[in-house]
Amino acid sequence: MEKHILIISSSPRKGSNSEALAIAFANGAKDAGHSVEMVTLARQQINYCRGCFACQKLLRCVLRDDGDIIEQKMHHADVLVFASPIYYYNISGQLKTMLDRGNPLFCADYKFREVYFLSAAAEEGEDVPKRAISSIQGWVECFDKATLKGSVFCGGVTNPGDIEGRQELKQAYEMGANV
């Protein structure tokens, strides 16, 4: 069964390592017959959530910017994939801002059931992604019908392109192929 997958890449750097993971995931999903759309937050104009909670009644944000458009895409996707560099042991500020702007989804009949997380960092070690994964898990737990299905982390990659040849790219591809 074909699924519509929305990948949100949050690195501010072009050709980043977390974006490479997102592309690998997308390629795997496309090869498995799914439709994939990728949004790069660095190219978007997204204002901060005002905390007005009008979206809880309107089921849409009152701010009319790219964040509102992306939230609508999130609403209609079967699968959400978040890709982020890890800065100071957490997700990027760009991704956090977008997750906050997803607040209208809380009261809506959103379609997504599966969420995946892809991340990369300069620092290595199994503890490095824990807080970032916890941030994504906290967001997912607000949506009763959704589950964090998996994550891939690649450490020891600082400069764009450092991830080339790493096994984590294959892991991301396989995760996408098995959605």
Summarize pLDDT for 125-174 with one digit per residue, the tens: 999 999 999 999 999 999 999 999 999 999 999 999 999 999 999 999 99
DSSP string of 16-45, one letter each residue: -HHHHHHHHHHHHHHHTT-EEEEEEGGGS-
pLDDT of residue 98: 98
Residues 37-52 pLDDT 10s: 999 999 899 999 999 9
- What is the value of pTM for the model shown? 0.97
CB-based burial label for 164 (10 Å; 0-12, 13-18, 19+):
exposed
Sheet containing 4-9: order of strands = 35-40, 4-9, 79-85, 114-121, 147-155
- CA distance linking residue 89 with residue 141, whole number of Å: 20
> What's the number of domains the chain is made of?
1
Q: What is the CATH number of the domain that holds 58?
A: 3.40.50.360
The dihedral over CA atoms of 100, 101, 102, 104, expressed in degrees to the nearest 10, equals 120
1 pLDDT higher than 90 = no
Q: Which domain holds residue 112?
A: 4-177
3-state secondary structure 56-80: HHHCCCCCCCHHHHHHHHHHHCCEE
- pLDDT by residue (tens digit) across 55-82? 999 999 999 999 999 999 999 999 999 9
CA distance 30 to 27: 5
